[in-house]
Amino acid sequence: MPEQQQPVVFLGEGTKRTRGRDAQRINILVAKAVANAIKSTLGPKGMDKMIVDDLGDVTISNDGATILQEMSIDHPAGKMMVEVAKTQDDEVGDGTTTATVLAGTLLGKAEKMLDDEIHPSTIIKGYRLAAKKAKEYYEAISESIVLGDKKLLHDIAFTAMTGKASEGAESLSNLVVDAIIQVAEQKENKTVVDIEQVKVEKKVGASLMDSELVKGIVIDKEVVHSNMPKQVQNAKIALVDAAFEIKETETDAKIQITSPDQLQSFLDQEEGMLKKMVEKLKKAGANVLICQKGIDDLAQHFLAKEGILAVRRVKKSDMDALAKATGAKVVSRLEDLETSDLGKAQTVEEKKIAGDDMTFIYGCKNPKAVSLLVRGGSEHVVDEAERAVHDALGALASTLRAGKFVIGGGAAEVAVSTKLRNYAKTIGGREQLAIEAFAETLEVIPRTLAESAGMDPLDTMVSLRSKHSSKDGGAIGVDVYESKLANMKAKRVIEPLAVKTQALTSASEVAEMILRIDDIIAGNSKGKGPEMPPGGMGGMGGMEM
């Protein structure tokens, strides 16, 4: 009789392990829950989510990346879905909800294939083939755009904004287009756009329609001294990142003062040093000082006497933006300041906005850095408007980098889905099922748009497929405002190609990664710390599947 082998125990006490099909089921369940949590926010008619944190702070948004960042998600698979939205946001600035919903739907379709005994490796191979081909199809149906086409750029910005700042989307999108055109640069026949050069300042008060684009920079700081001028015309600006103060000595030093005369002499010396600093500034021809560090009270007095407007403790990012906008150089040593280092602006002015003093630097000649001042009736409105501006900036920047756009409203998704189904037939085998599942996944976008507009999703998809199978149906999509199918190109609903291809890449890669996992080992360090629940996601209990 053969000797019975004892099971080998290699995991510590308190370690929980889920293997095989159960591990895949839990991960897919969690990923689907995350996708379902933000699915209803998709599109112009998407609903908002209210997230209340532990401190009672409230965030109201329909921006996928914002919602997922604010939600408390504990499960690792859930965190991977949050990473999808973050990557999409960092890369192209828009399409975060699309990427997350696609990832969740791909995994939902994979779950059914796993139930039919199709191996995860086969599904992954099929998804890879489909993602590669889908990108080619998107590229094939895309159209070109150039920097000078303001109307098309406005349509892209407006499409990205709708649903977030609906009442002010028209005027805000015009401001965003102007901002992007201002900071865009042509390098080696390519359009280069750095959206960091568009500084977005938000202030509660007035309405979204009162938002303005400043062809220069807005600094959320006040003029340091009451006797300084509040407005300077024909400004010559010095950007200094050294303190206008008498600093401590580099090495430890001890100063002994034995008489009042010595003390007075010491104070006079200090005053003389500050006077020299101001004289150096005046000699260079500066009438505005923007300082990254502090300005001593006595130095403020001397600056005011010379009629120099000064602002202190300005952020480094603002200093860099000012350098780009005004043509100034940031000087680290005041002794090195030359007239050629000064920047120029038509006006530097302190204005009171919503009870706070802010410094406006505008009228810069051909500025490559601008500011967008976003206004709104309440903090929540301003925050959501800022997120809408961020999406529009990202959408325009990614459009100009790639120079391509596709038709929105779900039209591009149905067109690519139709082509993928035909492609699947040429592959055959079990991979064909995965490619067909990928094609169905793309259709979740128009289906969700139809649901948010109160349309019947099944009838909508049948009609859409029928129209796209005809020769002239490639631009037909879901018009959420009229709750019917329409030519979305005629409706001027267009989106950047880069947003679509990045969403495909992010969604398919995270789906492949989650499908590869067949073992979840959750252990506590020496029996301490919280245990990971089998499907646990803090703050998402009772989520519908």
Q: Is 63 one of the annotated active-site residues of the chain?
A: yes
Beta bridge partners of 476: 487
Cα separation values, 478 from 129, 141, 160, 475, 491, Å: 28, 18, 16, 10, 11
DSSP 460-513: HHHHHHHHHHSTT-TTEEEETTTTEEEETTTTT-EEEHHHHHHHHHHHHHHHHH
Q: Is 391 one of the annotated active-site residues of the chain?
A: yes
Phi-psi region at 117: left, alpha or beta (left = phi > 0; alpha = psi -120 to 50): left
On whether the CB atoms of residues 369 and 186 are closer than 8 A, the answer is: no
Please enumerate in sequence order all residues whose Cβ is within 8 A of that of 168, keeping only pairs 6 or more positions apart, or say none.
Answer: 207, 208, 209, 211, 376, 385
> Annotated catalytic residue: which of 318, 383, 391, 479?
391
Tell me the torsion sign for CA atoms 510, 512, 513, 514.
Answer: positive
Q: For the chain, report the end-to-end CA distance as a whole number of angstroms.
A: 51
Q: Is 505 one of the annotated active-site residues of the chain?
A: no
Tokens 């990664």 label which residue? 513
DSSP 288-325: EEEESS-B-HHHHHHHHHTT-EEE-S--HHHHHHHHHH
> Annotated catalytic residue: which of 63, 89, 94, 341?
63
> Annotated catalytic residue: which of 66, 87, 96, 159?
96
Q: Is 297 one of the annotated active-site residues of the chain?
A: no
> Annotated catalytic residue: which of 18, 66, 87, 97?
97
On whether the CB atoms of residues 85 and 93 are closer than 8 A, the answer is: no
Catalytic residues: 63, 96-97, 391
